[in-house]
A and B are shown apart, each in its own frame.
Chain A
Amino acid sequence: MTRLSVPKTYKLFIGGKFPRSESGRTVEVRSADGSFLANASLASRKDARDAVVAARAATAGWAGTTAYNRGQVLYRVAELLEGRREQFAAEIAASEGVSREAAEAQVDAAVDAWVWYAGWCDKYAQVAGNANPVAGPYFNISVPEPTGVVAVLAPQDSSLLGLVSVLAPALVAGNTVVLVASSRHPLSAISLAEVLATSDVPAGVVNVLTGRATEIGPWLAAHADVNAIDLAGAEGADWVDLEIAAAQTLKRVLQPQDGVPALSLERVVAFTETKTVWHTKSTA
């Protein structure tokens, strides 16, 4: 006799909790071969706004942690993801229709990406900042700081590595994130949220919405309390409209790119602001 399995309900991840969409809407997610996988939540404008509120509330705490602490938290994500390798591989294989081996390689790459970015937390400021030799009796230093709340549209074609490649770098400096998962492969994003929820990542630092980037993207691009938007997964011509909407509040915008972004310090620095502090020097 075969055991009847217990399927998971995939919900949103907002402020450290797993609510359903306030809209009550879901979207059917099917595997590459057409079989039913789950009813993912179809996030609404209100869910996006709630996620921004949660992300804003978490900024001071997360940006205020020590770089060493943030590095350990991101490394902890890698540890826990490694431990759930089988689950993620199965989910990826089902959703993307790739071989088990390819799915496992994607999980491994995602784990390694967390490790790589974790190591940047207490180093990026040394590389991106510097002392400035000004012509006068002043101590003068430029340091990068987190931009604030970053909205991220995850790459559409990759269920796990794509979103980790855009999420992890945004977290390094201490930004908080509202992430819109791939519309085609949303389930790994919610499973990753379960990892984050148990990895010492404070509530609200990462918020995950599933649904349509085309529906939620414009609200996030125009939202006055979002400081930056990563359009990595904004496909087609409509991303120009998102950039135009973002101009109203002078958001920092990363333009879309094909495929999964490579590991790069540039992605970390893209979501920082350089602050330059002058202080007088005097023996008086």
Chain B
Amino acid sequence: MGFLEYAPAPESRSILSLKESYGLFIDGEFVDGSGDPFTTISPATEERIAEIAAGSAADVDRAVAAARRAYDTTWSRMRGSDRGKYLFRIARLVQERARELAVAESLDNGKPIREARDVDVPLVAAWFFYYAGWADKLEWAGLGPAPRALGVAAQIIPWNFPLLMLAWKLAPALAAGNTVVLKPAETTPLSALLFAEILQQADLPAGVVNIVTGAGDTGAALVRHPGVDKVAFTGSTAVGREIARTVAGTGKKVTLELGGKAANIVFDDAPIDQAIEGIVQGIFFNQGHVCCAGSRLLVQENVHDEVVERLKQRVSTLRLGDPLDKNTDIGAINSREQLDRIRELSDLGEREGGVRWTAECEIPQNGFWFAPTIFTNVSTSSTIAREEVFGPVLSVLTFRTPAEAVAKANNTPYGLSAGIWSEKGSKVLAIADQLRAGVVWSNTFNKFDPASPFGGYKESGYGREGGRHGLAGYLAPSKPTVAAISGTVEKTDRKGAKK
């Protein structure tokens, strides 16, 4: 066994006791869906995990009705402190069942168990814990003395962080006093359905949270539903546009967390060791299935060769394989469809003049896999430098001056995130000011915290999730308290004498 070889250390699946099939979670109970059920598979093996009910428009209707009933009769009348206690309960139950949730997430999504265990699930608990405390403090949220809940929130979440995105959506909505109908992604419904069991254990009143699984048409029915007051969506910019069009003129409040093409800027005075780790973390975390991934590496020209060389060395040590193995760094691509897209864009990158380098690693027989890939000699006009790949593919570009770095970083219709690597604080702050992105990480990357707002500029969407700002998406502010200044008043000259 060589220096960098490890014996397999698989996490046991025995902690999971999965059902053969899962229904929709409506009004506090699992019920059959009226659409054609679908199968959720492990992307690492293509093995069937369970059969999942598909929600039809009629099911969506039932779920929205249940949420409305719960809003009217229970949740909107409950004291904030009691809503908070339910959320605290949920946070604790997530911690108690953390291992089980991590295994389920890794199995269904394909992400390394190390990440599900150390990042996703702990953040889920943290998110509920953070917003639990807001539930009885809404008058301090900066929205006036008596902000009001919106009503029923429709929430549609993606497959890259299934349970974490559920937490990002549910926790602030419930803390603010809304009830919810949530649709998990078609390829990753499992953890949301286990989470529904946690809601039952927490004794959350029926109908406060309803989970309707299904594909895009289920989501579309939910967005269109006239009984919905709020739409929150995380996913592609294309679908985000469609949602913005659908809700136009309805007065529904909308939060959209969409695509990104983040620049990760490395200056020649950067701490190179940390920068290399940060670049790897930025693009290869979660197989690059991250909307804020640092997919465009902008390196100052004089350190380009050194950075790229060391990056390749480091990426060569990443272990790709069984997501449930605790030593695995790179798991499976979430679906065949996504794998096809990554392949297509990478091939295009090559045809457009990019120089492709791929880490040598053994690709398992079954499942969907894509080895970590770095493109050098990429120009700003290359497709892989412009379009979101949503996979473990890094494009490397260069710059000479800070002004050029900023211009290239901002040269995208997206504006979700960015990274800056430099030991010089004044430079970091000046660059951070000029980047048109909602989250800027300096000398770090892909850090998340429930207290920290997250969301994009431009076509990366609007609204923020996380922190105090994340509450605003689920509350209507009190009416402005400023008195009209147009009334007739006595006029005075500049010394205060009456005119």
Beta-carbon contact of B480 and A266 below 8 Å: yes
Q: B482's contact among A134, A262, A279, by CB below 8 Å, is which?
A: A262
Indicate if B379 sits at the interface (CB-CB under 8 A). Answer: no
Chain B residues near A142 (CB, 8 Å)? 452-453, 467, 469
CB distance from A220 to the nearest CB of B (A): 16
Beta-carbon contact of B432 and A277 below 8 Å: yes
Compute how far the CA of A273 lies from the CA of B451 in the bound complex, rounded to whole angstroms: 17
Q: Given A106-B486, A127-B142, A263-B482, are A276 and B453 neighbors across the interface (CB < 8 Å)?
A: yes
Chain B residues near A127 (CB, 8 Å)? 142
Beta-carbon contact of A255 and B251 below 8 Å: yes
Compute how far the CA of A116 lies from the CA of B415 in the bound complex, rounded to whole angstroms: 32
CB distance from A255 to the nearest CB of B (A): 7
Indicate if A243 sits at the interface (CB-CB under 8 A). Answer: yes
Chain A residues near B439 (CB, 8 Å)? 275-278
CB distance from A259 to the nearest CB of B (A): 11
Indicate if A109 sits at the interface (CB-CB under 8 A). Answer: yes
Q: Given A112-B485, A250-B240, A275-B437, are A132 and B452 neighbors across the interface (CB < 8 Å)?
A: yes
Number of interface residues of A (CB under 8 A): 45
Indicate if B49 sits at the interface (CB-CB under 8 A). Answer: no
Beta-carbon contact of B256 and A250 below 8 Å: yes
Interface residues of B in 428-468 (CB under 8 A from A): 428, 432, 435-444, 447, 449, 451-455, 457-459, 461-462, 464, 467-468
Q: Which of A133, A134, A240, A250 has the most CB of B within 10 A?
A: A250
Beta-carbon contact of B458 and A250 below 8 Å: yes
By beta carbon, the residue of chain B nearest A115 is B485
Indicate if B244 sits at the interface (CB-CB under 8 A). Answer: yes
Chain A residues near B437 (CB, 8 Å)? 275
Indicate if A10 sits at the interface (CB-CB under 8 A). Answer: no
Compute how far the CA of A248 lies from the CA of B142 in the bound complex, rounded to whole angstroms: 31
Indicate if B37 sits at the interface (CB-CB under 8 A). Answer: no
Chain B residues near A105 (CB, 8 Å)? 486, 488
Beta-carbon contact of A134 and B480 below 8 Å: no
Beta-carbon contact of A243 and B485 below 8 Å: no
Beta-carbon contact of B482 and A138 below 8 Å: no
Chain A residues near B428 (CB, 8 Å)? 279
Q: Given A135-B126, A274-B438, are A263 and B485 neighbors across the interface (CB < 8 Å)?
A: yes
Beta-carbon contact of A279 and B244 below 8 Å: no
Chain B residues near A262 (CB, 8 Å)? 480, 482, 484
Chain A residues near B447 (CB, 8 Å)? 134, 136, 138, 278
Beta-carbon contact of B469 and A278 below 8 Å: no
Indicate if A244 sits at the interface (CB-CB under 8 A). Answer: yes
Beta-carbon contact of B241 and A250 below 8 Å: yes
CB distance from B409 to the nearest CB of A (A): 13
CB distance from B208 to the nearest CB of A (A): 27
Beta-carbon contact of B469 and A274 below 8 Å: yes
Beta-carbon contact of A132 and B451 below 8 Å: yes
Compute how far the CA of A108 lies from the CA of B442 in the bound complex, rounded to whole angstroms: 47
CB distance from B450 to the nearest CB of A (A): 8
Interface residues of B in 406-444 (CB under 8 A from A): 413, 415, 425, 428, 432, 435-444
Chain A residues near B496 (CB, 8 Å)? none
Q: B241's contact among A132, A136, A248, A280, by CB below 8 Å, is which?
A: A248
Indicate if B248 sits at the interface (CB-CB under 8 A). Answer: yes
Beta-carbon contact of A138 and B480 below 8 Å: no
Chain B residues near A108 (CB, 8 Å)? 486, 491
Chain B residues near A112 (CB, 8 Å)? 485-486
CB distance from A258 to the nearest CB of B (A): 14
Q: B461's contact among A106, A250, A263, A279, by CB below 8 Å, is which?
A: A250
Beta-carbon contact of A273 and B453 below 8 Å: no
Beta-carbon contact of B248 and A247 below 8 Å: yes
Beta-carbon contact of B480 and A133 below 8 Å: no
Indicate if B249 sits at the interface (CB-CB under 8 A). Answer: yes
Beta-carbon contact of A140 and B455 below 8 Å: no
Chain B residues near A128 (CB, 8 Å)? 142
Q: Given A142-B469, A262-B484, are A276 and B440 neighbors across the interface (CB < 8 Å)?
A: yes
Chain B residues near A161 (CB, 8 Å)? 486
Interface residues of A in 223-247 (CB under 8 A from B): 227, 239-240, 243-244, 246-247
Compute how far the CA of A95 lies from the CA of B53 in the bound complex, rounded to whole angstroms: 64
Chain A residues near B482 (CB, 8 Å)? 116, 262-264
Compute how far the CA of A239 lies from the CA of B468 in the bound complex, rounded to whole angstroms: 31
CB distance from B340 to the nearest CB of A (A): 26
CB distance from A254 to the nearest CB of B (A): 12
By beta carbon, the residue of chain A nearest B454 is A276
CB distance from B125 to the nearest CB of A (A): 11
Chain B residues near A264 (CB, 8 Å)? 480, 482
Indicate if A31 sits at the interface (CB-CB under 8 A). Answer: no
Indicate if A39 sits at the interface (CB-CB under 8 A). Answer: no
Chain A residues near B415 (CB, 8 Å)? 273
Q: B444's contact among A116, A244, A248, A278, by CB below 8 Å, is which?
A: A278
Indicate if A130 sits at the interface (CB-CB under 8 A). Answer: yes
CB distance from A131 to the nearest CB of B (A): 9
Beta-carbon contact of B485 and A134 below 8 Å: no
Q: Given A142-B469, A247-B241, A247-B248, are A134 and B486 neighbors across the interface (CB < 8 Å)?
A: no
0/1 interface trace, chain A 100-140, chain B, CB 8 Å (1 if under): 00000110110011001000000000011010111110101
Chain B residues near A276 (CB, 8 Å)? 438-440, 452-454, 467
Indicate if A199 sits at the interface (CB-CB under 8 A). Answer: no
Indicate if B477 sits at the interface (CB-CB under 8 A). Answer: yes
Beta-carbon contact of A279 and B442 below 8 Å: yes
Q: Which of A246, A264, A276 has the most CB of B within 10 A?
A: A276
Q: 6 closest Cβ contacts across the A-B interface?
A: A240-B249, A247-B244, A109-B486, A243-B248, A134-B449, A264-B480
Q: List 26 A-B contacts (CB under 8 A).
A: A105-B486, A109-B484, A109-B485, A130-B467, A130-B468, A132-B453, A134-B447, A134-B449, A135-B451, A140-B449, A240-B248, A247-B241, A247-B244, A247-B245, A249-B413, A250-B237, A265-B480, A274-B455, A274-B464, A274-B469, A276-B440, A276-B452, A277-B440, A278-B444, A278-B447, A279-B444
